Amino acid sequence: MTIGFTSRAAASSCALCTAGLLALAPAAATAGTGAEPGPPPGTGPRAGAPPASLLYRSGTHVRPRAGAPEVPELSAKSWLVADAGTGTVLAAHDAHRALPPASTLKTLFALTVLPVLPAGVRHRVSERELKGIGAGSSLVGVAEDRTYRVSDLWNGVFLSSGNDAVHVLAALSGGWRATAERMQAKARALGARDTRVKSPDGYDARGQVSSAFDLAVFGRAGLRNPEFARYCSRVEARFPGRDGGSYGIRNTNRLLTGADGVERYRGLVGVKNGYTSDAGHTLVAAARRDGRTLVVTVMHPRSGGAHAVYEEARSLLDWGFEAAGRVDPVGSLDALRTRPLAGQPAEPAAAPAARGARDRPGRAVPWTIAGAALLGGAGVALYMRLRWGPVPTD
């Protein structure tokens, strides 16, 4: 029996060779009546997966067994809670509703770009790379003519949601437009069919949308990437300053840090928060308890103020852990994928140091440089344009 509610509720080795050119190798019966919309043509569910079509219906969906807790009533336009290990969706509200994602889209950016930019590579930022940043963007403080490690820039992306850091990393990985195209292809490969990428940093752009379903897919996939999991769970880091020193930055995900009167959620392992005037407040959050990891998405709460996104995510996580074994799936995050997602969700990170051991200058970088002392942005961009004709599918 089902219940429906209305809308209320690389690192493979690389080499640089041949006359100064870079040659790098990334060595519930549900609410509503009438015909039910289904997934896009040609994207049916994998054999054995719960039907994705249930999540295309409007309203709230859950399949409780005897003794299951009640799903919380939330103000968000769209939300979803799923088991990150199995991909089963425990409950959802308007899961495929297309909405602006704000900086939660940076999860897809990281999934796309992290594998091709080793953390230890240094890069001197040019003025050109900082052009085009949207007015009112969140910034970490990247300065032109300053040299940064790629790991510094990722700290800026995950902790400060810095659009300036995204612009530099996108320039290093082939350019703004090429990065958006690869992000779009990555979303399709992961079975995220609602997402339209126009601005890789999540800044409001005409036609740019995602969904609670897609963002949960990205968060779940990210937790299987050790670098992604490490960055998204990091509370504090040091960021290089303009004067050669450094300053502290702190994660803006208040459910992770416990800042501004928001109680820290026990067992939280990330992932990413966001806000724009079009999107409102958005959040992808994951937590682990008793060997089980849940991922939730909350998009645009309509009441409760700026911190409502965290409290509604908290309610979903609490419900999901309590409902373990007491509800049947209403869908699957794997439903539109063509092959299973590899790896396992990350363990909760211990209190991280300001700079992780793998970020330090002495760590082995999976690129070797022969014939040049520095790896410049132009060289990487050239390589990426050559390398990413076909876009990676996983």
Catalytic (active-site) positions: 103, 106, 161
310: which 2 tokens?
A: 């965290």
For residue 79, give the DSSP letter. Answer: E
- CA dist 233 to 1, 20, 64, 84, 353, Å? 38, 38, 32, 16, 12
Query: Sign of torsion, CA 60 57 103 114?
Result: positive
Instruction: Indicate the burial class of 98 (C-beta count within 10 angstroms; 0-12, 13-18, 19 or more).
Output: middle
322: which 2 tokens?
A: 């309590």
The whole-angstrom separation of Cα 341 and Cα 250 is 31
Helix (H) or strand (E) holding 81: strand 76-83
Give one DSSP letter per residue of 125-177, joined into a string.
Answer: PPTGGGTTPPTT-------TT-EEEHHHHHHHHHTT--HHHHHHHHHHTT-HH
